[in-house]
Structures are given as structure tokens and as C-alpha cells.
């Protein structure tokens, strides 16, 4: 009876590992960012796109993936691609993409003002489409 219980416990724990272990393949979160104003960015503008764990309402978000670059004279729209290790994701948590553009001194110029939620559902790539930024005051 003891051997049967041990074998059952072992097989159940192995089955549980097979169902809750995330894939080791990375997930690509892609899209582009733009704003509506007809304002050219300075060549030194800094662009930042982040994927954050936003699960806790009363605590700072935790950055999971980030892409940053200088505009170098280019203008919106800017395409982005964030690669996420699925082992860093918790299916019980909430995730969102945010973006911001600042000048060379760090002064905020444009930012996303809505929550852009990401649903990780086993797909290898998630396209967020166009994220719209608003002008900062």
C-alpha cells in the first residue's frame, strides 16, 4: 500500500509539472508606436518601449522586457519587438506595454496614456498593432 501511494504521488507530481511548466521558447511582442501631432522629433529623441508586470495596483510595475533607442532623425511610426522569456511570466499576473519619447535631457515629450494589455496565451508572437502616444504637457 505504501509503494502504491508513493508511485501515485510521484506520477501526479510529474503530470503537474508537465502541465504548468511554460515553454522555453521566447514570445515576441511586436507592434509600432506613433502620435497624432504634426511635430518632428529632434534627432536626439530617446524612444523607450517596455513590457511591465502590472499585477499589483499599489506597487510599482516590474519591467519584463524593454527596447530603447535614439531616433537619429527618424520619425514615427517606430516598430518595436520585445522578446520575452516565457519562464519569467506568471499566468496569474497582468502584463501591459507602454511607450514614451523624451528629449536628450530626459524631458518627457510623448507617452502612452492607456493600458495596452498583453494576453500571453501560448502563441509564439503577439502583435499589439499601433500604440498611440499623447503629447506631454
- pLDDT at position 62 over 50: yes
**Closest C-alpha to 81, from 133, 33, 34, 132:** 33
Cell of 113: 496614456
Of 46, 128, 53, which Cα lies nearest the Cα of 85?
53
pLDDT at 7 over 60: no
Average pLDDT over residues 119-130: 95
The C-alpha atoms of residue 95 and residue 115 are separated, in whole angstroms, by 9
Identify the CA nearest to 107 among candidates 77, 137, 79.
137
pLDDT at position 23 is: 62
Which pLDDT value is given to residue 137? Answer: 85
Q: Give pLDDT, residue 4.
A: 56
* pLDDT score, position 65: 97
Q: pTM of the predicted model, to two decimals?
A: 0.81
Amino acid at each position: 500500500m505504501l509503494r502504491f501511494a508513493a508511485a501515485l504521488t510521484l506520477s501526479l507530481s510529474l503530470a503537474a509539472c508537465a502541465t504548468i511548466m511554460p515553454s522555453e521558447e521566447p514570445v515576441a511582442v511586436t507592434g509600432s508606436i506613433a502620435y497624432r501631432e504634426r511635430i518632428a522629433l529632434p534627432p536626439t529623441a530617446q524612444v523607450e518601449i517596455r513590457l511591465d508586470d502590472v499585477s499589483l495596483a499599489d506597487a510599482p510595475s516590474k519591467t519584463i522586457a524593454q527596447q530603447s533607442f535614439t531616433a537619429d532623425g527618424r520619425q514615427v511610426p517606430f516598430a518595436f519587438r520585445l522578446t520575452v522569456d516565457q519562464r519569467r511570466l506568471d499566468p496569474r499576473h497582468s502584463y501591459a506595454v507602454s511607450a514614451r519619447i523624451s528629449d536628450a535631457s530626459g524631458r518627457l515629450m510623448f507617452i502612452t496614456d492607456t493600458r495596452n494589455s498583453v494576453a500571453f496565451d501560448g502563441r509564439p508572437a503577439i502583435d499589439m498593432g499601433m500604440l498611440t502616444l499623447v503629447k506631454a504637457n
